[in-house]
Amino acid sequence: MAKAGMNLKIRNGYSQYLEVVNGQKIATSPITLEKGVVNNSNWLGAEVEVQHSSVSHEIYFIAEKSIKCPTNFKFKLRAQHFAQEPIFRFDSDGATHRNDLESIPLSERQVTTPHFHKFNENGINFANKTDVLKTTADAQAIVMDINFGLAHFSTEANLQDSQGKRPIVQETQTDLPIPPNQDPVAGIKFE
Amino acid sequence: MKPALECDPIIGAIKRDFGTLWQCRNRGNSIEIVTPFSTATQKFVSVFITRRDDSYVVTDGGWVSSEDQTYGLDEVEEDSGFDAIIEHFCKAFKIYSTREKGGRFFYKKVSDDSLISSAVYDVANFISSVVNSLSIPVQEEVKHREAFRNDANSFLLKQFPNAKFGQHPLDDYKTAIFHAVIIYPAQMSLVAYVTGTRNNYFVNQFQRAVVNFELAAQSRLKAQIKGRIAFINNEAGGYSPQTVNELSPLLTKYHAQPLQWTERESALSVL
């Protein structure tokens, strides 16, 4: 029986799902972060179609970055033939995920950011950390620089730019960049 | 007589396993405590501890009401009872709030080290309660919209194999999104879906459709738009003829045609 939160298309076509995520992909145009792409004025975004070496369905790569908190960014792969929601995702910051998997120890159900989200063979979305993200210093370097983050995502998602190189995020925003500070209450007064 | 179950090994294992769910990390001059409290939206609650003068402040860090949907409440609409829920749980856990720098921060202040745990307990319980309460209508609504979207997508795809879904087709108004776009060699047709389990959700979707068609009417691509339709789900719980009568003239003002879902076949000649 299908459980709540289970994606049947992914479960039934799991090898095709893995092919979409793991197969070689090329971002067909530059990844330029702009306002107006994300439906939230506090975020910059870019959406680029990717060409897959063996899958003909439409696949998009999406990058999003918080303007207020530049260490908060996301990378996503969207393939609508599988799901409306992203089928593979990286979150640099934000809330800790609770994995809805009953057969693993309690401590493993809690996955702090930065982390990846993908689907397992049962079509359940779950969060996990790669070995790189489990290393505190590497994880911190990735969070502090969106292009380090993209390099890691590109390795995991087998993504290249049209020159066959590591993709890079560019920004058109001309405002003064906000220095990275992960403290969400910096400067807030509490009476 | 020896009891059938011993407390010590079991409570020991539970305490140890729950204990691993408390995590801490530095965030500038504050620290984030990831707690074992969790939400129905598959998140663990975090609280932030910071120093102000001689006190410790334990706060949600602005995450509960953030537009970034940190706790996964991505479809919370205005009028979803947010304010009443917040007020209720602020009272229940004696939580204060302040609005600053475009955010709202819920917090508790303590001056004595020995009371930090107590404040963490209250703030974490508050966050979990609020998020869980807000997630009930949201989950139901999300499932409803998904079901309608699937029905409508399948209907269109059968007639128009060149239909694409969830698109931003206007390059000069990238925020405009349509549930479906039928692509022709030099033209396109735009379709918005209007549904909702409750009337406020239904109204909200209707208004979004109006705004998206208004943007389409202003777009430099307007001459390439062939048909414009809003599918009105007249079988939805939130449907009301009064809402449709009130808002339909706005759709027609921007050249879009409202069409009842039960009469969907007539869309084919327009698209």
Tokens 């930065």 sit at which residue? A114
Decide: helix, strand or coil at residue B52: strand
Asked whether the beta carbons of residue B21 and residue A106 sit closer than 8 angstroms, the reply is yes
Tokens 């380090």 sit at which residue? A148
Q: Tell me how long chain A is.
A: 191
DSSP result, A144-183: H-HHHHHHHHHHHHTEE-TTSS---EEE---SPPPPP---
Nearest CA in chain B to A46: B174
Q: What is the pLDDT of residues A67-95, one digit of tens each?
A: 888 899 999 999 988 887 899 999 999 99
Question: From residue B219, how far is each of A59, B176, B187 by CA, in Å?
Answer: 26, 10, 14
A1 close to B (CB below 8 A): no
Chain B residues with CB inside 8 Å of A84's CB? 146, 149, 166
Q: How far apart are CA A77 and CA A153, in angstroms?
A: 10
Quote the pLDDT of residue B94: 97
Q: What is the pLDDT of residues A138-159, one digit of tens each?
A: 999 999 999 999 999 999 999 9
Torsion angle (degrees, nearest 10) of CA B67, B71, B76, B78: -50
Asked whether the beta carbons of residue A36 and residue B174 sit closer than 8 angstroms, the reply is yes
For residue A10, give the nearest of A74, A85, A62 by alpha carbon. Answer: A85
Tokens 């990735």 sit at which residue? A142
Quote the pLDDT of residue B74: 67
Cβ contact B21:A106 at 8 Å:
yes
CA triple A176-A177-A183, angle to 5 deg: 130
In this structure, is the dihedral angle defined by the CA atoms of residues A23, A29, A35 and A37, taken in order, positive or negative? negative
Quote the pLDDT of residue A1: 41
Q: How far apart are CA A191 and CA B105, in angstroms?
A: 11
What are the residues whose beta carbons fall under 8 Å from the beta carbon of B128, sequence distance 6 or more? B37, B38, B39, B45
Chain B residues with CB inside 8 Å of A95's CB? 43-46, 63, 70-72
A49 bridge partner residues: A60
Cβ contact B119:B110 at 8 Å:
yes
DSSP result, A56-102: -S-EEEEEEEESS-TT-EEEEEE-TTT-SS-SEEEESSSSEEE---T
A19 versus B271: the higher-pLDDT residue is A19
Interface test with A, best of B29, B31, B44, B132 (most A CBs within 10 A): B44
Compute the half-sphere exposure of residue B262: CA atoms within 13 Å on the CB side of its CA. Answer: 4
Residues 36-55 of A with CB under 8 A from B: 36-37, 39-40, 42-43, 47
Cβ contact A126:A88 at 8 Å:
no
Asked whether the beta carbons of residue B168 and residue A99 sit closer than 8 angstroms, the reply is no
Residues A9-28 have a mean pLDDT of: 95
Quote the pLDDT of residue B178: 93
Quote the pLDDT of residue B1: 77
Nearest CA in chain B to A38: B175
Quote the pLDDT of residue B109: 97
Question: From residue B148, how far is each of A2, A90, A146, B153 by CA, in Å?
Answer: 19, 29, 37, 8
Amino acid at A65: K
Cβ contact B247:B256 at 8 Å:
no
Residues A26-39 have a mean pLDDT of: 88
User: Roughly how many angstroms between the first and final C-alpha of chain B, as a whole number?
Assistant: 80
Average pLDDT of chain B is 91
Is the pLDDT confidence value at A176 over 90? no
Q: How far apart are CA A10 and CA A87, in angstroms?
A: 9
Residues 160-219 of B with CB under 8 A from A: 164-166, 168, 174-175, 177
Q: How far apart are CA B254 and CA A156, in angstroms?
A: 45
Q: What is the pLDDT of residues B85-118, one digit of tens each?
A: 999 999 999 999 999 988 899 999 999 999 999 9
Cβ contact B243:B251 at 8 Å:
no
What percent of chain A lies above the pLDDT cut of 90? Answer: 72
Which residues of chain B carry a pLDDT beneath 50? none
Cis peptide bond upstream of A114, omega within 30:
yes
Q: How far apart are CA A74 and CA A89, in angstroms?
A: 7
Going by pLDDT thresholds of 50, 70 and 90, the confidence category of residue A133 is very high
Rounded to two decimals, the ipTM of the complex is 0.89
Measure in Å the smallest separation between the Cα of A94 and chain B Cα atoms. Answer: 6
**What value does the CA radius of gyration of chain B take, rounded to a whole number of Å?**
25
Chain B residues with CB inside 8 Å of A58's CB? 164
Nearest CA in chain B to A185: B61
Quote the pLDDT of residue B73: 81
Asked whether the beta carbons of residue B29 and residue A183 sit closer than 8 angstroms, the reply is yes
Q: Nearest 5°: phi and psi at A28?
A: -80, -15
Nearest CA in chain A to B28: A183
Cβ-based neighbour number of residue B86 at 10 Å:
20
Nearest CA in chain B to A39: B175
Residues A9-35 have a mean pLDDT of: 94
Asked whether the beta carbons of residue A42 and residue B67 sit closer than 8 angstroms, the reply is yes
Asked whether the beta carbons of residue B70 and residue A94 sit closer than 8 angstroms, the reply is yes
Asked whether the beta carbons of residue B34 and residue A189 sit closer than 8 angstroms, the reply is no
Residues 56-95 of B with CB under 8 A from A: 57, 59, 61-63, 67-68, 70-72
